[in-house]
Chain A
Amino acid sequence: MKVEQYSITQLRSSLLNNELSPEALLTEVLERIRLNEPMINGYIRLAEEEALRLASSKLDLKLPLAGIPIAVKDNIAVKGMGLSCGSRILDGFISPYDATAVARLKAAGAVVIGKTNLDEFAMGSSNETSYFGPVRNPLDHRLVPGGSSGGSAAVVNYGGAVAALGSDTGGSVRQPAAFCGVVGFKPTYGRVSRYGLVAFASSLDVIGPITRTVEDAGILFSVIAGQDPKDATSVDRPIDFLAGLKDGVQDLVVGVAKEYFPPELDPQVRAAIEDRIERLSRCCRDVCEVSLPHTGYAVATYQILAMAEASSNLARYDGVRYGYRADEPELGEMYEATRGAGFGAEVKRRVLLGSYVLSRGYYDEYYLVAQRARTRFIEEFEQAFSRVDLILTPTTPSLPFRLGEKARDPLEMYLSDVFTTPASLAGLSAVSVPVQSPAGLPVGLQLIGPKFEEGKLLRLAYVCESL
């Protein structure tokens, strides 16, 4: 059985028809992990024993995810399992509770198989900043898998899990999905509870599924979405994302954002996306050009806001209550030594820059300006959605790059998120659907939808994945 070729829908059908047992499915997945992990490094920790115990227990196979092995990014809490965020500073920390999204997966019968590698505190676009070492792209081991949910995308690609949870602050679900040839879905901000997701930039952080098919993304999303009294930013909105998924898109007008096709766009990416636009134009009501003129300012706006929020959120890691603690005789020295040795280079850089943009004399010049620019992004998308139903763009400006290629130039790394950060700033839903370049390389096609229009977004994504 080539487990990496099967979707949740197909596996559920086999499980319900007794053609496959949850134990046999898990054994296949564990075999893939044994074969691939020495090279890929997608997992930080596995819960093999607990997963086997659960898979061999009496599962209610009618549950939507009964017996399905699912991986969870290691910045999302799973009770009784380590929670590292890919950082030394959380050394030895065991989560005493489940994130709401994880609790909902478990209640739906999912088998949580392990915690996946990530850029430290989800800060990165290549999965090279983890304390636990870089993740490699299963499609070509010389390439990065993208980040920060690179471990989740990699293991879904090679069959080390049937699906995974990631988190998306500025593209961290969509960009690795594009690089690893899988589906990455960022729901509208507020759709999925952030309770149990370690905060990086609280006004941007969203938990989202990484799956092999659009339908699987919808299944996972249906399970994890919904208001949660433990997260004041979660919303009470109707959830019915799968109804109409296969109804076609003849009624939809799709906008192609012209600013997402600059001259420096990789020709392979351009060719792949333009080919899909041409094919899509035969299926939907209309395809037309839209303009999002602030796109070129997205990375600066995003980084200022995300770094500012990160510098505040990461202040809690001081070695006093849990995690790594440096041995120093005086409290202030202990704080500084703990954070100096506990955080990696990228996290330090972002916390320093976040402190800079929030400090006296610079707050108005940077942070306040970025907050105003954010309003512009929200307005710009609202204007575009008054003309079109959904917006289509490439997910990334380039193909997956080589390990180490951008590691010495943080600004160049930040710029690789230029197409994913605008939707994050506006709190919109967006999905990356895998397509192939003419040379057979993985390219992500991004669809951006209005707030809470995930049903429409997934309906178009479903068509796009089979174009």
Chain B
Amino acid sequence: MMDEVTRLGRLARIRLRAEEKSVIAPQVERIIGYFQKLKELKLSGVEPTTHGVVPGIGSQGRADEPIPPGEEIWAGLPYLKHRHFSAPRALIGP
């Protein structure tokens, strides 16, 4: 399970320290083991509920508005430089 947790950490982009992995691995194993409980259910032919637990929702349009327009939103962003996000380099050159 340690290897699996390392893989999941990479997948989820979460850096995990070695001691964290040793705590999380048995917990993850036990929880996944608990999830196996669902195999007891007879679910063949049952439609999955993918969305809309309540009929009629999710089928309407949403009003997309810039929120809030103007300076307010820029003021709360700490990593802006000239209205662009400043971030570390994505590629490290030779």
Contacts and interface: CB of A to CB of B under 8 A. Distances in A.
Given A332-B13, A345-B24, 18 more contacts: A96-B68, A96-B76, A231-B62, A232-B61, A300-B34, A304-B38, A311-B12, A330-B88, A330-B92, A336-B13, A352-B24, A353-B28, A356-B28, A371-B49, A372-B48, A376-B41, A411-B34, A451-B54
Interface string B63-86: 101011000110011110000010
29 contacts: A96-B67, A96-B68, A96-B72, A96-B76, A190-B54, A190-B57, A203-B51, A231-B62, A232-B62, A233-B57, A300-B37, A303-B31, A325-B79, A329-B89, A339-B13, A339-B15, A348-B20, A349-B27, A349-B28, A352-B12, A352-B14, A352-B28, A366-B38, A372-B41, A372-B46, A374-B49, A375-B48, A378-B49, A411-B31
Contacts of A332: 13, 90
A42 B79 CA distance: 31
Contacts of B92: 329-330
Interface of B: 4-5, 8-9, 11-17, 20, 23-24, 27-28, 30-32, 34-35, 37-41, 43, 46-51, 53-54, 56-58, 60-63, 65, 67-68, 72-73, 76-79, 85, 87-90, 92
Given A229-B62, A336-B14, A321 B79 contact: yes
Contact of B76 (A94, A229, A325, A341): A94
- Give chain B's interface secondary structure class: loop
A418 B38 CA distance: 15
Contacts of A328: 88
Contacts of A374: 48-49, 53
A437 B93 CA distance: 68
Contacts of B79: 320-322, 325
Interface of A: 92-94, 96-97, 188-190, 203, 229-235, 294, 296-297, 299-301, 303-304, 311, 315, 318, 320-322, 325, 328-337, 339-341, 343, 345, 348-349, 351-357, 359, 366, 368-376, 378, 410-411, 414, 425-427, 451
A355 B12 contact: yes
B77 A352 contact: no
A60 to B, nearest CB: 25
Given A94-B76, A321-B79, A321-B85, A233 B58 contact: yes
